[in-house]
């Protein structure tokens, strides 16, 4: 039996960092949104009990490969009833860019194994298994639009009536997530006092108000990443010049996304960015 799943990238429409916890992670308030840019994960049951990662289309994806195999092992550790599986991974989502590619792949493996396993687990159980492997994996199990707290694992699905058109683009060298949190600790932790709930953003999403959503995009990492990655600020400006209603960094960067009036406007902007040598992907919200 073979199963093919889409592993959707995510963007952070809002990302605030609250404080560093005793375990070294940071409490966040973030609104995550799945977008149509996706990897493809194929799972086939094997006759024996081996987990095999077949060749994928990208030669060097150690972190993603590792996370996919670890997800399968974690699934079988939780079920106590392992079976063999071939996993193949077709990557499209840019790696180490703040758009959750590795987390999406791992979540797709957990969802797919559960399907092959006659839906033994509920999504909440899969999210718990995934949380042990990465903070963004629980969101990727559910997808859509959600307000996430804790380290990202406390998930409240949000109503969204905005059929958002997006361009995702990559600015310069990748950023390591632990380094980005470290920079925030050094520069910003002392100035953080109150928790801001993203009520304006959630209200605008609920009524499908693009201007309202555009006015509320926020990412606390921009304050520490833009000074060391000037390409991020430059790309945000290019997005706006190409017709975006707003542009913001995603996750710990350096990817930048722009929101657009419709898919046609997004496709034109992506083409304009590509003409300037920038990796740009037109996509839209997955609701």
The answer to whether residue 83 forms part of the interface with ligand C5P (CB under 6 A) is no
The answer to whether residue 25 forms part of the interface with ligand C5P (CB under 6 A) is yes
10 annotated active-site: yes
- C-alpha angle 215-219-225 in degrees, rounded to nearest 5: 130
What are the tokens at 122?
A: 């509920």
The answer to whether residue 136 forms part of the interface with ligand C5P (CB under 6 A) is yes
| Beta carbon of residue 26, minimum distance to ligand C5P (angstroms, whole number) | 4
β-pairing verdict for 218-219 and 165-170 = unpaired
Q: How far is CA 12 from the centre of its chain?
A: 7
| Beta carbon of residue 67, minimum distance to ligand C5P (angstroms, whole number) | 8
The answer to whether residue 28 forms part of the interface with ligand C5P (CB under 6 A) is yes
Q: Which is nearer to ligand C5P, 133 or 242 (CB)?
A: 133
Query: In terms of Cα–Cα distance, which of 219, 201, 214, 209 is closest to 255?
Result: 219
Q: Which stretch binds ligand C5P (CB under 6 A): 71-79, 116-124, 134-142, 240-248?
A: 134-142
The answer to whether residue 112 forms part of the interface with ligand C5P (CB under 6 A) is no
The answer to whether residue 39 forms part of the interface with ligand C5P (CB under 6 A) is no
State which of residues 177, 206, 233, 268 lies at the interface with ligand C5P (CB under 6 A): 177
Q: Contact, 150 vs 27, CB < 8 A?
A: yes
Q: Contact, 253 vs 232, CB < 8 A?
A: yes
Q: What are phi and psi of 144, to 5 degrees?
A: 80, -135
The answer to whether residue 134 forms part of the interface with ligand C5P (CB under 6 A) is yes
The answer to whether residue 225 forms part of the interface with ligand C5P (CB under 6 A) is no
Residues 250-265, buried b or exposed e (16+ Cβ, 10 A)?
Answer: bbbbbbbbbbbeebeb
Residues 40-57, buried b or exposed e (16+ Cβ, 10 A)?
Answer: bbbbbeeeeeebebeebe
The answer to whether residue 139 forms part of the interface with ligand C5P (CB under 6 A) is no
| Beta carbon of residue 134, minimum distance to ligand C5P (angstroms, whole number) | 4
Q: Which is nearer to ligand C5P, 181 or 218 (CB)?
A: 181
Q: Which of 10, 16, 91, 236 is catalytic?
A: 10
Binding residues for ligand C5P restricted to 150-169, rule: CB under 6 A: 151-152
The answer to whether residue 143 forms part of the interface with ligand C5P (CB under 6 A) is no
- C-alpha angle 72-120-67 in degrees, rounded to nearest 5: 15
48 annotated active-site: no
Q: How far apart are CA 166 and CA 158, in angstroms?
A: 19
Q: Which of 39, 105, 136, 236 is catalytic?
A: 136
Catalytic center residues: 10, 136
Chain residues that interact with ligand C5P, rule: CB under 6 A = 24-26, 28, 134-136, 151-152, 177-178, 181
């Amino acid at each position: 039996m073979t199963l093919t799943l889409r592993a959707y990238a995510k963007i952070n429409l809002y990302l605030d960092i609250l404080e560093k916890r005793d375990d070294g992670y940071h409490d966040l308030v973030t609104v995550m949104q799945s977008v149509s840019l996706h990897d493809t994960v194929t799972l086939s049951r094997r006759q024996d009990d081996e987990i095999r990662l077949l060749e994928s289309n990208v030669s060097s994806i150690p972190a993603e490969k590792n996370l996919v195999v670890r997800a399968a092992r974690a699934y079988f550790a939780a079920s106590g009833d392992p079976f063999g599986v071939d996993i193949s991974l077709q990557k499209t989502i840019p790696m180490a860019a703040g758009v959750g590619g590795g987390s999406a792949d791992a979540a797709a493996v957990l969802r797919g194994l559960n399907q092959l396993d006659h839906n033994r687990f509920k999504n909440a159980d899969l999210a718990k298994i995934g949380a042990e492997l990465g903070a963004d994996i629980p969101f990727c199990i559910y997808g859509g639009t959600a307000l996430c707290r804790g380290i990202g694992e406390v998930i409240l699905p949000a109503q969204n009536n905005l059929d958002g058109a997006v361009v995702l683009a990559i600015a310069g060298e990748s950023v390591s997530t632990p380094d980005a949190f470290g920079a925030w600790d050094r520069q910003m932790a002392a100035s953080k006092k109150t928790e801001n709930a993203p009520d304006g953003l959630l209200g605008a999403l609920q009524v499908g108000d693009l201007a309202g959503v555009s006015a509320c995009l926020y990412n606390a990492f921009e304050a520490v990443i833009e000074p060391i990655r000037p390409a991020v600020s430059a790309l945000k400006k290019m997005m706006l010049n190409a017709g975006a209603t707003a542009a913001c960094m995603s996750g710990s960067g350096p990817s930048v996304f722009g929101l657009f009036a419709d898919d046609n406007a997004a496709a034109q902007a992506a083409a304009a960015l590509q003409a300037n040598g920038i990796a740009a992907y037109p996509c839209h919200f997955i609701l």
